[in-house]
């Protein structure tokens, strides 16, 4: 006995199973063909599936965008510039400050020397007036801003001081003394202090650099130590005249 190779039914000799006929001509379904959708519930694509976003290969190579480079700090440059500026400022100060101090010192010295000359001229003018009025101006003597240090003055000292104040505006400011010989001022010295060695001294005739000139009876140029004071100059003059 034979069997159907499809359904396994036993067949009589020479019999053909009806299932073979059914599989040979399968029935056609009458269902309508479903349209192709674009995957999003929309209408079908006009030409099948969409194209790739970059078109046909070869596709462009992907390049990673460069990251923004971190800006380097300029702090060290600023610090270097500031250091150079400070160094130049220190060098300039080292040069200019001593020069300015020297200029200030010379300016003060020149001013006080000028005042000594003004004192000398004012004293001579006062003695000319006294002489013209008949007072005696002969002899050698010392006139001082400190009354107790006036020595051998032959005329009224109060009258002289009144006239001197009129011609010398610094009479109240400065300490001074003058050496007079027959109405002519041979020497004048003044300062703002009798005893301070730090105070500048102006003399006529003038000294050299910052060393004041001492009085010399014979007219020689003698320069005192720069650390001297007005009181020392007075007693040196006194000793030469009356010593």
Q: How confident is the model at residue 133 (pLDDT cuts 50, 70, 90)?
A: very high
**Which carries the bigger pLDDT value, residue 120 or residue 30?**
120
Cα gap 154→25, rounded to integer Å = 172
Kindly state the tokens that stand for 11.
């067949």
Return the percent helix, strand and coil in the chain, to nearest 5. 40, 15, 50
Torsion angle, alpha carbons of 218, 181, 172, 190, to 10: 0
Question: Using CA atoms, how far apart are residues 238 and 243, in angstroms rounded to an integer?
Answer: 7
Average pLDDT over residues 94-106: 77
- What pLDDT, in 10s, does the model give residues 187-233? 999 999 999 999 999 999 998 877 899 999 888 888 888 789 999 99
pLDDT of residue 90: 87
Peptide bond into 58 cis (omega under 30): yes
What's the CA gap between 49 and 47, in Å, rounded?
Answer: 7
Q: What is the pLDDT of residue 4?
A: 74
Q: pLDDT of 16-70, one tens digit each?
A: 777 755 555 555 555 555 555 555 555 554 555 555 554 555 656 666 666 555 6
What predicted TM-score, i.e. pTM, was given to this entire model?
0.61
The DSSP output letter for 145 is S
5 vs 234 pLDDT, higher one: 234
**Which pLDDT belongs to residue 126?**
96
37 and 44 Cβ atoms separated by less than 8 Å: yes
Confidence of residue 130 (pLDDT cuts 50, 70, 90): very high
Provide the 10 A C-beta neighbour count for residue 36.
Answer: 11
**Structural domain boundaries in the chain:** 80-242
Could you tell me what percent of the chain has a pLDDT over 90? 47
Buried b (16+ CB within 10 A) or exposed e, 3-28: eeeeeeeeeeeeeebeeeeeeeeeee
């Amino acid at each position: 006995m034979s069997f159907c190779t499809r359904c396994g039914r036993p067949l009589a000799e020479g019999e053909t199973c009806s299932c073979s006929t059914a599989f040979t001509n399968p029935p056609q379904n009458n269902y309508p063909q479903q349209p192709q959708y674009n995957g999003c519930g929309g209408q079908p694509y006009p030409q099948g599936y969409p194209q790739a976003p970059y078109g046909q290969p070869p596709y462009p190579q992907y390049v990673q965008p460069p990251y923004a480079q971190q800006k380097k700090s300029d702090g060290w440059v600023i610090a270097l510039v500031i250091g150079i500026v400070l160094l130049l400022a220190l060098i300039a100060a080292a040069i200019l400050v001593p020069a300015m101090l020297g200029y200030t010192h010379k300016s003060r010295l020149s001013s006080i020397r000028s005042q000594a000359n003004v004192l000398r001229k004012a004293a001579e003018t006062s003695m000319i007036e006294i002489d013209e009025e008949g007072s005696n101006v002969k002899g050698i003597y010392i006139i001082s801003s400190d009354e107790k240090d006036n020595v051998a003055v032959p005329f009224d000292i109060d009258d002289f001081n009144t006239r001197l104040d009129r011609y010398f505006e610094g009479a109240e400011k400065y300490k001074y003394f003058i050496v007079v010989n027959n109405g002519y001022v041979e020497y004048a010295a003044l300062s703002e202090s009798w005893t301070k060695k730090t105070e500048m001294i102006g003399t006529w005739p003038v000294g050299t650099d910052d060393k004041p000139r001492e009085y010399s009876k014979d007219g020689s140029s003698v320069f005192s130590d720069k650390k001297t004071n007005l009181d020392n100059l007075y007693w040196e003059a006194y000793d030469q005249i009356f010593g």
